[in-house]
């Protein structure tokens, strides 16, 4: 209300337009020119000439007349300059107001165009979602792969509500494709599309599982963006294992890990770890899994929930580590600081002097 009152109060005052200021500047210039011309005649009239100008000058000399008129000449010049500047200022203000109106109009047009484009994008995404879903029901693998590609375009767009629905459909397709060897290429395509969606910030609401027991190719694929993924009887390579973005979302049962770096958060049971780097270990993980030729250098060990009755079994598991080729660098034998009853790893592991090249390979500071 105060702003409206202030604007109204300002607008009540009389204002001059740019044309008015131009006319005023022109008139003052002409009047000043006439006055200056008359003053020049008066100032430069010869002192010896007995004329009206001589009488009017009161007998003063040319220099005196020039000095007398000088302040008035400066004042006339200031008036003309003021009117000219005012005219230019009003003109510039009008130009700025016009430009502001043009910018406002362009912004409105851009907003309208953006709104239309968003509506068009949503329409295109809806069509892609429908067409992609239809293609997944085809018998030809090429059609199914085309459907996965269409759904990948939907999930990477991060548009609600299409992207989450696309993630759920892709998760269902990955689950179905994981049941047969012949559809391995479809599983890989669906996994890649889901990973792209996860990188775009999307997440499926599905819980899926894969059992590779009867499959000729049992390599586990990293599938991100799921609530939960379970792997049964899969082989997990180090390269693939490094692609799992949130270990808490994955559960491994009866799997074989090769050349992996095992950190905190791995949920594994009845699994075998081969040629892997063990950086974090719990008593439960030790009891539920087997370790062969693994590097325990720098491992942190925690007792979390083992009952007293299983402590003897834990001791047996620890004693079996050396027989299966598990080892630790000699300089890292006292690293189980998280355990209230620290384990003397030198009693259970083969101690090795790691060469300089091996130190680079097994550098725990980079893990």
Q: What digits encode the pLDDT tens for the residues 33-54? A: 676 666 665 555 555 554 545 5
Going by pLDDT thresholds of 50, 70 and 90, the confidence category of residue 360 is very low
Whether 57 is in a domain gets the answer yes
207-210 contacts, C-beta under 8 A, 24 or more apart: 208/171, 208/174, 208/175, 208/178, 209/175, 210/175, 210/178, 210/234
43: in domain: yes
The least confident of 106-110, 165-169, 334-338 is 334-338
- Average model confidence (pLDDT) across the chain: 76
Q: What is the pLDDT of residues 265-318, one digit of tens each?
A: 899 999 999 999 999 988 889 999 999 999 998 888 887 766 566 778 888 888
pLDDT of residue 95: 75
Residue 111 is assigned to a structural domain of this protein: yes
Q: State residue 289's pLDDT score.
A: 94
Strand ranges inside 152-271, DSSP E: 207-211, 228-232, 235-237, 250-253, 256-258, 261-262, 268-269
Contact 86, 17 (CB under 8 A): no
Q: What range does the domain containing 46 cover?
A: 14-120
Classify residue 41: in a domain, yes or no.
yes
Rounded CA-CA distance 175/65 in Å is: 107
Q: How confident is the model at residue 359 (pLDDT cuts 50, 70, 90)?
A: very low
User: Is 93 contained in some domain?
Assistant: yes
84 located within any domain: yes
If phi > 0 it is left, if psi is from -120 to 50 it is alpha, else beta; for residue 330 that is: alpha
* Domain assignment of residue 2, yes or no: no
Going 166 to 194 to 235 to 216, the CA torsion angle's sign is positive
Q: How many domains is the chain built from?
A: 1
Q: Among 1-10, 179-188, 334-343, which range has the highest average pLDDT? A: 179-188
Q: What percent of the chain has pLDDT over 90?
A: 27
Residue 93, pLDDT > 60, answer yes
Cα 285–Cα 289–Cα 295 angle in degrees, nearest 5: 85
Cβ-contact 149, 176 below 8 angstroms: no
Global model pTM greater than 0.85: no
The least confident of 43-52, 70-79, 138-147, 286-295 is 43-52
Question: What is the C-alpha separation between 131 and 209, in angstroms, rounded?
Answer: 26
Q: Confirm whether 112 is domain-assigned.
A: yes
- Per residue in 206-221, pLDDT (tens digit) is 999 998 765 556 788 8
Give the whole-angstrom CA distance, residue 231 versus residue 210.
5
Q: Which residue, among 354, 353, 352, 332, has the nearest Cα to 344 in the 3D structure?
A: 332
Q: Which residues pair with 250 in a beta bridge?
A: 229
On the question of pLDDT at 242 being above 60, the answer is yes
């Amino acid at each position: 209300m105060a702003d409206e009152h202030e604007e109204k109060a300002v607008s009540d005052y009389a204002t001059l337009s740019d044309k008015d200021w131009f006319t005023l500047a022109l008139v003052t210039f002409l009047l000043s020119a006439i006055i200056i011309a008359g003053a020049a005649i008066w100032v430069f009239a010869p002192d010896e000439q007995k004329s009206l100008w001589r009488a009017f000058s009161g007998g003063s000399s040319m220099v005196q007349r020039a000095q007398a008129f000088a302040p008035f000449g400066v004042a006339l010049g200031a008036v003309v300059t003021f009117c000219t500047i005012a005219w230019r200022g009003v003109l510039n203000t009008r130009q700025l107001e016009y430009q502001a109106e043009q910018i406002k109009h362009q912004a409105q047009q851009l907003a309208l165009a953006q709104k239309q484009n968003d509506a068009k994008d949503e329409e295109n995404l809806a069509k892609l979602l429908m067409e992609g879903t239809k293609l997944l029901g085809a018998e030809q693998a090429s059609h199914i792969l085309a459907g996965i590609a269409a759904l990948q375009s939907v999930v990477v767009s991060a548009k609600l509500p299409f992207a989450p629905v696309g993630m759920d459909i892709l998760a269902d397709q990955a689950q179905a494709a994981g049941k047969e060897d012949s559809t391995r290429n479809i599983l890989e395509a669906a996994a890649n599309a889901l990973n792209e969606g996860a990188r775009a910030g999307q997440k499926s609401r599905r819980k899926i599982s894969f059992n590779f027991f009867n499959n000729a190719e049992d390599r586990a694929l990293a599938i991100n963006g799921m609530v939960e993924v379970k792997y049964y009887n899969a082989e997990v390579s180090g390269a693939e294992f490094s692609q799992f973005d949130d270990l808490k979302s994955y559960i491994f049962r009866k799997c074989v890990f090769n050349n992996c770096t095992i950190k905190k958060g791995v949920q594994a049971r009845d699994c075998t770890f081969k040629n892997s780097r063990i950086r974090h270990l719990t008593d439960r993980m030790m009891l539920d899994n087997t370790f062969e030729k693994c590097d325990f250098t720098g491992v942190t060990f925690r007792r979390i929930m083992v009952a007293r009755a299983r402590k003897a079994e834990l001791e047996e598991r620890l004693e079996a580590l050396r027989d299966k080729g598990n080892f630790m660098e000699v300089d890292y034998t006292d690293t189980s600081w998280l355990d209230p009853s620290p384990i003397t790893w030198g009693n259970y592991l083969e101690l090795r002097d790691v060469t300089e090249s091996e130190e680079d390979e097994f550098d725990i500071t980079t893990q």
